[in-house]
Structure 1
Amino acid sequence: MDTTRPQRDGDSDASPSAPPPTSTIWLPGRWLGALTGVVVVGLALAVAELLSILGDRVQLLNQFSSPLLAVGAAFITLTPEWLKQFAIATFGEQDKVALQVGMGVTVLIAAAVIGLVARRSPRVAAVLLAAFVAICGVAVLTRPAAVGVIDLLPSIVGGVVGVLVLGYLFRRREVAAPAAPVDPDVEPTPQDYPSRRTTTPVMDSALGRRRFLSLVGITAAAATAATAIGRFLPSYADVQASRDALQVPSATPQSFPDGLTLDTIEEAVDGQGAFLTPNEDFYRVDTALTLPNITADDWSLKIHGLVDRERTLTYDEIVNLPLVERTITLTCVSNEVGGGLVGTATWIGTPIKDLLEDLGPSSDADCVLCTSIDGFTLTAPLEALVDGRDSLLAVAMNGEILPQRNGFPVRMVVPGLYGYVSATKWIVDMKVSRFSDEVAYWTQRGWAEQAPIKTASRIDVPRGFNQAAVGDEVVIAGVAWAQQRGIENVEIQIDDGEWQPVELSPALSNDTWRQWRTTWVAEQGVHTIRCRAYDGTGELQTEEIAPPIPNGSSGYDARSITVS
């Protein structure tokens, strides 16, 4: 009888035919793979951003070669109009933050998918990353501000870095599976085989767990460092230094009727906005994902097209032209009824009328295609720029050099028109042309070609769903505007009662809003307060409810108040 026991691992006389022990096979788990994808894509984007900034510094590239900015601009372009309006109405000026969050989530998901795929097939993941870079490249090249193929350099370099790092982190080695035991009755131990029984080669991480984690950490640190360097390069600081070095230029002061001044305008009641909107509170709605960086020394404006002669002006030439001071209310077409996308400021600038008439616009021209440094375009009616209204190329706002967020170094201010057809910030080009020959950013998206501001009024206090006690003297106050026509009268209505006139602040000009107020003795119940305005021609604001698109919202603003 054969009494030979089966040979076990570790026996000194183990049969040479028994499989040798193998090292433990390790591959990144799903979460680690996804995280690694995010880190690698983050590094690729950080390198691209840094190169874009450095290229802009040495004037090899422009600041809009940034793939992130390009993708962000594409997000804005491709977003449906209803969703844009929802974002503006919901988030106001923070719509850019909402966009950045949405874009960030999308990029994170894409990066995580690349990492998950890399666990199984690094080559396929590299193809996906290359496709992601290609999308960024298309976004860069299709931006209106694109210079040429050279703008692809940051995206290409960042993509190459990402693919190389991804391939290195997820590279594989082939581990041979052990042969089957000689004695089929012998149960192998876990050390005899990999984690899966197989007779085919097994792919193992060539780095090992510890080294893999170390390299992922180094990659994350490199991405963070590249981002930090790009963030702290002096592009933004240069703009602020440029602003700080400038002095508000002297200008012909504005004159108001009946000896009025800004100081004599009635003070706002508690909860009502001031007559002049502080610069930091002035609404900002534009297509720039980040503020363009341009100094006064680097800025210039080209005026060309259907004119007798073209002209390019520097910042110094602009501020040395005759300048005027004007207080003007601006309104965004995205402003909902009762919304806050409207503000009043005192501007200093040179009249556009004088510039254009000096260059001799053609009698065939009917618009001016205005372009921002970031490529945004609008078509302003030529008539509105030369008909004598205070259309300006503004360089100062409320007693200080134009803030960067409001258009530094130079922006357009045109009273009586919604901003999307007039208020070009960071303006660098004015082409005298015809509406039939031009396509502007918003008009090609369904907004009206002509957009005079509608008469509107707003209740600032009380706030919606406010509460009061029976007998309280409730202050009701707000503002009304109808630029170029002025405001003649404002009325309020409590529930279905008679419309009652209110007290108006003095009218500085037809181009500024007027504050209004009244009081009401509170009565028991839930009440609705509405307001309406008459413009300077005596025409009543329309009650018809309309959304912002295509040419501005309309309807009466209303507030509810509970009295108990």
Structure 2
Amino acid sequence: MMLTKITRYGEAVGLAAVLGGLATGEISTHLATNLHNPIISIGNRVVDFVPNFMKELVIRFFGVNDKTFLLTCITIAIALLAMVIGRLFAQQKARQGQYVILAMTGIAVLASLFDAKAGPFAVMPSLITGGVTALILNSFSRRKTKAESFGGEYTRREALTFAGLIGAVAVASVGFGRLLQQQANTQLERLKVILPKALRPLPPPPTDPALGVPGLSTLFTPNSDFYRIDTALSLPDISLDTWTLTIDGMVSTPLKFTYKELTNRPFFELDDTIACVSNEIGGNLVGNARWLGIRLDDLVKEAGPLSRADQIMGHSVDGFTAGFPLAALDGRDAMIAFGMNGEVLPTDHGFPARIIVPGLYGYVSATKWLSRIELTRFDEKRGYWIPRGWSVLAPIKTSTRIDTPRNGARIVQGKAVIGGVAWAPTRGITKVEVKIDNGEWQNAKLGPELANTTWRQWWLKWNATSGEHRISARATDGSGDLQGEKSVAVLPNGAEGYHSIFITAE
């Protein structure tokens, strides 16, 4: 019974000690740039080395919450280890507990050494976390030993009071860390920005068909609903006073620009649908936006690509890279974007600048938090995802999705509407067809085409008869090519296949 009590309060003290260590380590991340707490550093390494099938499985089940799932798993693992450590210290096995702390600290230190732009202080948060954790637990061990050396007992109340005090200090420390973070918070940087207008603004969008078709995706995806898939477990803090964009590599004239210099250039607007290569058939990792920025091809021309360069590689401030063919600057409106849907580019979508290349999946083109554009060669450098099994070339495939009714829905028999969106950026959509059960393919009504780079909404009125039904949809692009029917997995260059749903009319 006594051992059980010791174990329980030891676990509580262990949790408090690790929380205190993490809180102190978090504060230290604000003392220099490019520092991460141990949880983020370990998470970054998991992202780097996890097998593709596991990555796709997590995205399939958790979608844009994949990072939350990963960080939750790491936090739970650390909490369990903290309880083990606390139990060891409570049972007078301090040496074994210290070995576990040392091992955890070593893992975190190694992980931090591989963080993007890791400098000489990169290991500091991990070392501080481990050191503070050890100090707290050693203090607990001394208190317990002292109480027992006089024939007494270190009571449960004393242990929990100690743990509570440490926990309270840890929470206060995290709050202090947040105050420090606000000194260079990217959100505050965004508030300083007033973007210029486009020289030739696009016409206002037409009336949105989604207003008349409940459940249909809106013409433009609101920024708050826009999907986010990237490798960044923590959003970078960027100061516009120090941020620059460099264009170098295989160029005759390397260039460097400040944010002010770039935003003083002529701006244009682009309506473009972007998609993640991990988007499953019928998935929601796709969105349509009106982007605001400057022409990428103008900057590249100013730098003067050398004749042997065949790849444009974007570099993010967090170390991510994505490369696409120089030949993709073929007249399409490739952009360095500073605005999205009428506002300054949101932090989680790449503030202060990102690349948008119509017609290419994001993993080869859409570098967020852009800091460098490098002209290079495919046979010399590969973007982040290419060594991990993804294709070098990645044009977005023609796809369609049924938005309404939802798969598995129960609807009232009689008049109903089937609706969705279809996309084939740079080729456009000319036809969407719907098939109900084993019937003939029927042409759906198409919504407005903003440009051949955007999705088109579609809908079909239907007299739903009682019973279960299978509904399928397919799209034809502007080249006259029908999307692929055979189901193809997302790896290595995007899913293919008709989207089908099953519903019941009652």
Question: Which of the five TM-score ranges fits, normalised by the shorter chain?
Answer: over 0.9
| Separation of aligned partners in 2, 1:444 and 1:229 | 41
Deviation at 1:261, TM superposition (A): 4.5
Deviation at 1:213, TM superposition (A): 3.6
Paired position in structure 2 for 1:76: 47
Deviation at 1:429, TM superposition (A): 1.5
Deviations 1:136-161 (Å, cap 9, x if unpaired)?
Answer: 111111112312x3211222223222
| Separation of aligned partners in 1, 2:461 and 2:486 | 27
Runs (5+) with no aligned partner, structure 2:
none
Native 8 Å contact 1:235 1:293 kept in 2 = no
Choose which of 249, 258, 278 in structure 1 pairs with 2:196: 249
Matches within 5 A, 1:135-174: 135-147=107-119, 149-171=120-142
Choose which of 31, 34, 38 in structure 1 pairs with 2:8: 31
Q: TM-score, normalised by structure 1?
A: 0.84
Confirm whether residue 430 of structure 1 aligns to residue 373 of structure 2.
yes
Deviation at 1:273, TM superposition (A): 1.3
Q: Aligned pair count? A: 502
Deviation at 1:357, TM superposition (A): 0.9
Q: Which moved more, 1:151-160 or 1:280-289?
A: 151-160
| Separation of aligned partners in 2, 1:286 and 1:387 | 26
Native 8 Å contact 1:26 1:204 kept in 2 = no
| Separation of aligned partners in 2, 1:174 and 1:422 | 60
Deviation at 1:51, TM superposition (A): 0.9
Confirm whether residue 51 of structure 1 aligns to residue 28 of structure 2.
yes
- Compared CA separation, residues 311 and 473, structure 1 to 2 (3 A): same
| Separation of aligned partners in 1, 2:396 and 2:314 | 19
Q: TM-score, normalised by structure 2?
A: 0.94
Paired position in structure 2 for 1:183: none
| Separation of aligned partners in 1, 2:320 and 2:348 | 15
Paired position in structure 1 for 2:19: 42
Deviation at 1:26, TM superposition (A): 9.1
Confirm whether residue 298 of structure 1 aligns to residue 269 of structure 2.
no
| Separation of aligned partners in 2, 1:509 and 1:205 | 80
Choose which of 219, 224, 227 in structure 1 pairs with 2:166: 219
Paired position in structure 2 for 1:7: none
Letter in 1 for 2:441: W
Paired position in structure 2 for 1:399: 342
Letter in 2 for 1:296: L
| Separation of aligned partners in 2, 1:462 and 1:278 | 21
Letter in 2 for 1:542: G
Q: Which moved more, 1:304-313 or 1:226-235?
A: 226-235
- Compared CA separation, residues 29 and 479, structure 1 to 2 (3 A): same
Paired position in structure 1 for 2:69: 98
Across the aligned residues of Structure 1 and Structure 2, the Cα RMSD in angstroms comes to 2.3
Native 8 Å contact 1:475 1:518 kept in 2 = yes
| Separation of aligned partners in 2, 1:219 and 1:524 | 63
Deviation at 1:368, TM superposition (A): 2.1
| Separation of aligned partners in 1, 2:150 and 2:298 | 75
Letter in 1 for 2:195: V
Native 8 Å contact 2:210 2:217 kept in 1 = no
Deviation at 1:374, TM superposition (A): 1.5
Q: Counterpart of 1:480 in 2: which secondary structure? A: strand
Q: Counterpart of 2:229 in 1: which secondary structure? A: coil
Q: Counterpart of 1:64 in 2: which secondary structure? A: coil
Choose which of 394, 398, 414 in structure 1 pairs with 2:357: 414
Letter in 1 for 2:102: A
Runs (5+) with no aligned partner, structure 1:
1-24, 56-60, 176-193, 195-201
Deviation at 1:203, TM superposition (A): 11
- Whichever of the two has the greater Rg, that structure is 1
Matches within 5 A, 1:425-504: 425-470=368-413, 472-504=414-446
Native 8 Å contact 1:303 1:310 kept in 2 = yes
Instruction: Quote the sequence identity (%).
Output: 40
Deviations 1:408-437 (Å, cap 9, x if unpaired)?
Answer: 111111110001111111111221111121
Q: Which moved more, 1:123-132 or 1:72-81?
A: 72-81
- Compared CA separation, residues 32 and 174, structure 1 to 2 (3 A): closer
Native 8 Å contact 2:217 2:457 kept in 1 = no
Paired position in structure 2 for 1:321: 265
Native 8 Å contact 1:64 1:374 kept in 2 = no
Choose which of 382, 396, 412 in structure 1 pairs with 2:326: 382
- Compared CA separation, residues 236 and 474, structure 1 to 2 (3 A): farther
Native 8 Å contact 1:37 1:115 kept in 2 = yes
| Separation of aligned partners in 2, 1:213 and 1:266 | 60
Paired position in structure 2 for 1:546: 488
Deviation at 1:442, TM superposition (A): 1.2
Q: Counterpart of 1:527 in 2: which secondary structure? A: strand
Confirm whether residue 307 of structure 1 aligns to residue 251 of structure 2.
yes
Native 8 Å contact 1:71 1:136 kept in 2 = yes
Confirm whether residue 352 of structure 1 aligns to residue 259 of structure 2.
no
- Compared CA separation, residues 291 and 528, structure 1 to 2 (3 A): same
Deviations 1:516-541 (Å, cap 9, x if unpaired)?
Answer: 11111112321111000011010000
| Separation of aligned partners in 1, 2:60 and 2:152 | 51
| Separation of aligned partners in 2, 1:70 and 1:233 | 20
Choose which of 108, 115, 121 in structure 1 pairs with 2:93: 121
Native 8 Å contact 2:13 2:160 kept in 1 = no
Q: Counterpart of 1:328 in 2: which secondary structure? A: strand
Deviation at 1:466, TM superposition (A): 2.4
Paired position in structure 1 for 2:475: 533
Letter in 2 for 1:346: R
Q: Counterpart of 1:330 in 2: which secondary structure? A: strand
Q: Counterpart of 1:107 in 2: which secondary structure? A: helix
- Compared CA separation, residues 467 and 142, structure 1 to 2 (3 A): same
Deviation at 1:322, TM superposition (A): 1.6
Letter in 2 for 1:71: I
Letter in 2 for 1:77: D
